[in-house]
Chains A and B, each alone.
Chain A
Amino acid sequence: MRPLREPLHTLINGDNGRSRSFQLILRRWNELFAFTSIQLNMDKRMNEMGTTFQVFQVHGAMYHRQGPLVPGGGRDALYSQIYLYDPAYAVQERSRRASDLDPEIIRSLTMMLQESNPMIQIYLTAKERLAEIAQAEDNFCLILNPKL
């Protein structure tokens, strides 16, 4: 694992108020930037007991899900779909979806990932190629090779 770049490094390792509140809801932040969503049943029994002990426990099977590259039916773009927008617009979309989160952190993380995450380019290329090929057939698919 390589050292994290800023601002993520300070947010995850830092001890100031901004970092701490970021760490507390890190799962939510991660969800905001994830390419894929997770399908799971949280085990809610501990919450019902009213304790403060935080345990992430799941019930049943757990899967990751992948949507189509273009949201259908006028829906909001989610997960990997957001990465296909222009970064500035993606920042706007994410801030709109999570209006209670610091928009400055959303902006800086979006920019950081834009520079360092190779998956974004792969998804963009995939979208372009699908657009070229699938003009006639709308139901064409692409395969991401596992040895990326």
Chain B
Amino acid sequence: MILPEEYGSAGFRDIVLTKRINGDDDDANPFTLINSNHASYLPLHYVLLFPYGESRWHGGSTLDNREGNQQNKNISQRTFYRFHLHTRRNEPATLFRAQKLFQQFVVDAWAVCDQNKLSWIRSHQSNIRGDLYNGLSDALEVADMDLERIGKKVVLPSSYVGGDRFMQQLYQDSIAIVRHFGKPSLFITFTANPKWVQIANELLPGQSAADRPDLVARVFNLKVRDLLDQIRHKEIFCPWLGWVWTIEYQKRGLPHLHLLVFLRTDNQFLTAANIDSSISAELPPPDDAISQEWRGIIEMTMVHTDCIAHNGQALCMQGLDPFAVQTWRKSYPRSFQEQTIINEDGYPTYRRRDTRQAYSVEVQSNGANVTAMIDKRRAVPYSPYLSLRYKGNINVEVCGSVKAVKYIHKYIYKGGDRATVILDSEHDEIKRYLQGRYIGPTEAVWRLFEFSTHGEEPAVMHLDLHLPNQQAIYFAEWENPAMLRQRMDSSITTLIAYFKYNSEKPDGREYLYHEFPLHYVYVRKKG
């Protein structure tokens, strides 16, 4: 503790104490926000988790470098919390026993990291802001112009994971992959199952999966890795070409994966026999040799049961149920179907033979267990192999036509839950994002662990497209007009480079602009 005169002005990671706040007698809320970069930020609130007031992360934390063979490295906030989110044999598991307080703790920790990142983006807007070259040329003509007034809006750049621009970027990348390969072959949705044995084995006595978002996130991440490996390297469906995927979190906190797979298929792939061999929409018959276990999994995860429980008010339709699949076409129960057929619109109608069997399943309705009878009209298409392997909710659908592609892409890149907020006229994307965002415990842990939230292969390269003299250039607020002019004159885009190369050399002239990067490499040189 120091007095301000010994220290200078309050720094960015200080807690400022006052005896009173001026005029607080009338103020309904005399509390002030404290800075999240202070080492005591978390211990001051989570007193019962850190009763010794141990310091946590602060801006100057460095890695403990016992061997002394490396330079001391600063440790980031995220790294620090991640380090503490592992149970250790020689440490008490206080944090992991705290149930809802633990959930609050991880949400808090991630909110702090995220808000710090957002405030960095806000304070570095000048490095991010771009303006159209042409518009800037116009502005430069006007005498006595104020450079600080060009580009007043606050931008959340596409490099910020989860922002609107980020999602838009992913969507466009994905559409570029479709342009290259044609329509995707399979659309897979994979939801974490809180009853997985890998989670259950690690729970502390008396805990449920909801108490341990860290376990749910880690187990699901491993299963997703394995699923991707199965499809890509084990080629369980067909030879692999590429994919795009995103991770989302349902309102109950369970993560799920949306995956579009591009496979090397010939024109004959979309036949009833091929579909029946890898995808099923039927329940295994009760007298079949298939193990009870498999039946249990399918019945537990692959059936639209909530539709029964809520008399049509299905939780799954509102995206609220972890056991029901988030399909993009809800029309359950379906009718019986003797043969798989391919409809004219390209969607297959899966085989659901009428065997006059029904199963009784336990369904949760308003917290109470209800027994309901189901038959295969309520079964969601799945892959027997994958469902058995992951013992969880995996919905596999064939993408029949190119019509569905845009719709599915919109669906998987719609982004996390957001609330609509009404803002004043100012254009502030950071504020808008922050006010609309939801954070749940699983997402918080997922992001703290830095697990991937999306993936796409093959890599997509962004090519510039602009009219002459209208390429985007980036400049800082403090740059003077002369520096700006120089920056404009030296800016070269991929489009300019493409024209330049082809006007000088004849060897690449048979390739269109978008084909060019498949054969040539753009090298960005400084200066």
Instruction: Identify the A interface with B (CB < 8 A).
Output: 1-5, 8-9, 12-13, 15, 23-24, 26-27, 29-30, 33-39, 43, 45-46, 49-70, 72-73, 80, 109, 112-113, 116-119, 122-123, 125-127, 129-131, 133-134, 138-148
Contacts and interface: CB of A to CB of B under 8 A. Distances in A.
Contacts of B1: 122, 125-126, 129, 142-145
B229 to A, nearest CB: 30
Contacts of B52: 2, 116-118
B416 to A, nearest CB: 11
Contacts of B320: 46, 49, 51
A60 B436 CA distance: 6
Interface of B: 1-4, 7, 10-11, 13-22, 24-27, 30-34, 36-41, 43-55, 58-60, 84, 91-92, 94-95, 97-101, 103-104, 107-108, 111-112, 115, 205-206, 210, 251-253, 315, 320, 366-367, 419, 434-441
Nearest to B32: A66
B16 A116 contact: no
Contact of A46 (B97, B101, B252, B434): B252
Given A26-B101, A51-B366, 11 more contacts: A30-B46, A54-B103, A55-B441, A57-B439, A62-B108, A65-B31, A66-B15, A129-B3, A130-B17, A139-B22, A147-B60
Which of B3, B18, B30, B100 has the most A CB atoms < 10 Å from its CB? B18
B103 A72 contact: no
A129 B134 CA distance: 60
Contact of B51 (A4, A53, A134, A142): A4
Contacts of A5: 51
A8 B40 CA distance: 20
Which of B27, B52, B437, B441 has the most A CB atoms < 10 Å from its CB? B52
Q: Which 7 A-B pairs have the closest CB atoms?
A: A56-B103, A72-B24, A62-B111, A73-B25, A65-B31, A35-B44, A144-B15
A7 to B, nearest CB: 11
B251 to A, nearest CB: 6
Nearest to A71: B30
A38 to B, nearest CB: 6
A116 B54 CA distance: 11
Contacts of B31: 37, 39, 65-67
Q: Is the interface of B mostly helix, strand, loop or mixed?
A: loop
A145 B108 CA distance: 22
Which of A15, A72, A73, A131 has the most B CB atoms < 10 Å from its CB? A72
B45 A34 contact: yes
Given A56-B103, A117-B53, A146 B14 contact: yes
Given A69-B17, A70-B19, A119 B438 contact: no
B187 to A, nearest CB: 27
B438 A58 contact: yes
A143 to B, nearest CB: 5
Contacts of B39: 146-148
B49 A143 contact: no
Contacts of A140: 18-19
30 contacts: A1-B54, A2-B92, A4-B51, A5-B51, A13-B94, A24-B99, A39-B31, A49-B315, A50-B367, A52-B367, A54-B99, A57-B438, A61-B435, A64-B34, A64-B45, A67-B32, A69-B17, A80-B44, A116-B51, A116-B52, A117-B53, A119-B53, A122-B1, A134-B19, A139-B21, A142-B16, A144-B40, A146-B13, A146-B40, A147-B55
